[in-house]
Amino acid sequence: MTLEIITDDLLEGIPHGFFTRKGGASSGVYAGLNCGFGSSDQHEIVAINRARVADAMSVPHAHLMGVHQVHSADVVTVTEPTSDKPKADALVTNVPGLALSILTADCQPVLFADPVAKVVGAAHAGWTGALNGVLESTLDAMEALGADRANTKAVIGPSISQAAYEVGPEFFETFLAEDPLYARFFAQGTGDKMQFDLPGFGLMRLRGFGIGDATWTRHCTYADEDRFYSYRRTCHRKEADYGRLIAAISCPT
Residue pair 41/103 in contact (Cβ under 8 Å)? The answer is: no
Q: Is residue 246 part of a domain?
A: yes
Integer Cα distance of 99 and 121 in angstroms: 10
Nearby residues of 235 by Cβ (< 8 Å), 6 or more positions away: none
Each residue's pLDDT tens digit, 71-90: 999 999 999 999 999 999 99
CATH number reported for the structural domain that contains residue 45 in this entry: 3.60.140.10
Q: Is residue 180 part of a domain?
A: no
Each residue's pLDDT tens digit, 128-182: 999 999 999 999 999 999 999 999 999 999 999 999 999 999 999 999 999 999 9
Q: Is residue 229 part of a domain?
A: yes
At 253 the pLDDT is 80
Q: How many CB atoms lie within 10 A of CB 248?
A: 28
Q: Is residue 175 part of a domain?
A: no
Q: Is residue 168 part of a domain?
A: no
Each residue's pLDDT tens digit, 15-34: 999 999 999 999 999 999 99
Domain hosting 234: range is 5-161+213-250
Total count of domains within the chain: 1
At 252 the pLDDT is 85
Angle among Cα 109, 178, 233 to the nearest 5 degrees reads 40
Global pTM?
0.97
